[in-house]
Amino acid sequence: MKKITIAFLLLTIISCTQTKKESEALNLNTFEEKEQYLLQLFNDDQKYRNSAEEASIKFGYHSEQHKSQLELIIKQDSINFENVTTYLATYGYPSCKEFEELACVGMVYIVGHSGKFEKQKMVFKYFRDAYHSEKLDRDSFLFLLNEMHESKYGYLYDFKNEFTFKERIQILIDFLKLEESS
């Protein structure tokens, strides 16, 4: 009962911070504020993942402790996705040439971790445009496309080594029916 109460308390605290983070995204005035905001989102994305791994090792994969951590991850992933969506709608995709790497590509992980293809598809245009304008590197863009494939089909796309990065990207765009015009 104590563990359930703690998990509920943590979920409540996370829910209360969602509105704060979203409104915070609307009031970032400097490059440094934007970069720090994105770095914090990446840290938020990772914090429960480490705890879940530790709980799995210490208590077992099917333990209540591990399940509790997984619930926190799911809740945090949803909050992070909303925060990234707000950021993208307000400022667009940041340049990986200017921002610290984790501030920039952290958004790729957050959208990938949302685990919902339809949600990922809603923000795909920001990543596609960032890739085409060279704000986002090809490795990160391909990673996102493969995460989207996994969200839609339940497995990562198995590429043959003979394909170039450009071909792999196009294969996934075609396979996922992500129109270039979207």
Q: Nearest Cα to 105, choosing from 132, 79, 143, 74?
A: 143
- Per-residue model confidence (pLDDT) at position 7: 47
- Per-residue model confidence (pLDDT) at position 85: 96
Query: In terms of residues, how long is the chain?
Result: 182
Banded pLDDT at 2 (limits 50, 70, 90)? low
The single-letter code of the amino acid at 43 is: N
pTM score, two decimals? Answer: 0.82
Residue 118's Cβ-count burial label (10 Å; 0-12, 13-18, 19+) is exposed
Q: Nearest Cα to 34, choosing from 83, 85, 89, 99?
A: 99
Residue 86: count other Cβ atoms within 10 Å of its Cβ.
Answer: 16
Measured distance CA(182)–CA(123) in Å, rounded: 10
> What Rg value do the Cα atoms of the chain yield, rounded?
17
Measured distance CA(128)–CA(133) in Å, rounded: 9
Tell me if 79 sits within 8 A of 17, measured CB to CB.
yes
pLDDT tens per residue, range 89-138: 999 999 988 999 999 899 999 999 999 999 999 999 999 999 999 999 99
- Per-residue model confidence (pLDDT) at position 19: 53
- Per-residue model confidence (pLDDT) at position 160: 76
Tell me if 41 sits within 8 A of 106, measured CB to CB.
yes
On the question of pLDDT at 5 being above 60, the answer is: no
Does an H or E element contain 126, and which? helix 117-132
Largest CA distance in the chain: 55
Distance of CA 100 to the CA centre of its chain: 16
pLDDT tens per residue, range 146-173: 999 999 999 999 887 789 999 999 999 9
Tell me if 151 sits within 8 A of 114, measured CB to CB.
yes
On the question of pLDDT at 180 being above 50, the answer is: yes
pLDDT tens per residue, range 19-60: 566 678 888 999 999 999 999 999 999 988 888 999 999 999
